Amino acid sequence: MVDANQVAELRRFIEQLKSNPSILHDPSLIFFKEYLRSLGAQVPKIEQTERDYEERAETKPSFSPKHDDDDDDIMESDVELDNSDLVEPDNEPPQPIGDPTAEVTDENRDEAQLQKRKAMEAISDGKFDEAIEHLTKAVILNPTSAILYATRATVFLKVKKPNAAIRDANVALQFNPDSAKGYKSRGMARAMLGQWEDAAADLHVASKLDYDEEIGTMLKKVEPNAKRIEEHRRKYQRLRKEKELQRAERERRQQQEAQEREAQAALNDGQVISIHSTSELEAKRKAAKKASRLLILYFTATWCGPCRYMSPLYSNLATQHQRVVFLKVDIDEANDVAASWNISSVPTFCFIRDGKEVDKVVGADKGSLEQKIAQHSSSK
């Protein structure tokens, strides 16, 4: 009698299948799908819209997309693939192979050919295990024969042992890089395991070396899956690239904003800043340039009568034009700065935009100073 709990679990599974038939395409349920087909049931292929393809895929694929924690909010959807003919990987110990360094006599070659003929007869009779035994004896006798390994690989395919077939195909291609049979058997084995891109590559090479209808039929199944994987990869490579560009632009803006804040903080809005050295002046010039501010450099001296008249006016203008940088240099205290600007009389007002002098007022000309501040502060 069937256990009631098992019946309940089976009922829940059936209900889940009704709501989501694509579960049947999970490779782990191949045995169940084959059983349903043996009873005459039809397993529907799951059709989906482009939106479904991009946003969700409920069939477990043999291709597992990579997820990068650094991709912000990019979450890859699975790739909808036709995994209907996949087989469980064979994890048996590697099959015997011959010693490639051993000397092969004519007698060994003849005996190996005899074993191969016996293997072909066994294949014709459907005795695949017997065929593998004969071919194993053959590769021991003639361990550098690519065709023997490639032939044994084709028999491993018939008994659903793709990993064993791949191992033999690799050896065959090692001894004969142009072995069409080696590429074909390896491509078909990789298709059994869902290694669609590698399978397509091998089958294309086999097709160029020695095309047959079986290769063409297999390519019709393999290529659509390989193409979907490639399209999926390119899509997310493009999205990641766009994300990287957005991240780089965001970081650039943040850095620029931080520099502007730093520059603005050093410009003391509404105040007159005293300059005592060339290096200090250069720092303020760079800060004003980064902040796209007009900078006025006022050269003065304590003994200058007109300067005593202009200094209060200059301070008052600084409070009125807070987006303009007002600097002051005492030519006796910072004579190196005055010398570098070729100052011959005071007061002198130099107007600097983007690090370059754009205008100048010499003398205690209040009207000209105000007019040029208004002119140049509004020029940008």
Q: How does DSSP assign 101-139, residue by residue? A: TS---HHHHHHHHHHHHHHHHHHHTT-HHHHHHHHHHHH
Cα atoms in the 13 Å half-sphere on the side-chain side of 226: 19
* 136: number of Cβ within 10 Å: 18
Decide if 350 is catalytic.
no
Looking at residue 318, its amino acid is: A
Determine which one of 263, 291, 307, 324 is catalytic: 307
How do 272-275 and 324-330 pair as beta strands?
parallel
User: What is the C-alpha separation between 328 and 171, in angstroms, rounded?
Assistant: 84
Determine which one of 150, 267, 304, 329 is catalytic: 304
- Four-residue CA torsion sign, 13, 15, 20, 25: positive
User: What is the C-alpha separation between 328 and 232, in angstroms, rounded?
Assistant: 63
Phi-psi region at 200: left, alpha or beta (left = phi > 0; alpha = psi -120 to 50): alpha
Q: CA 36 → CA 32, 42, 81, 85, 344, distances in Å?
A: 6, 8, 20, 14, 102
Decide if 307 is catalytic.
yes
Active site positions, annotated: 304, 307
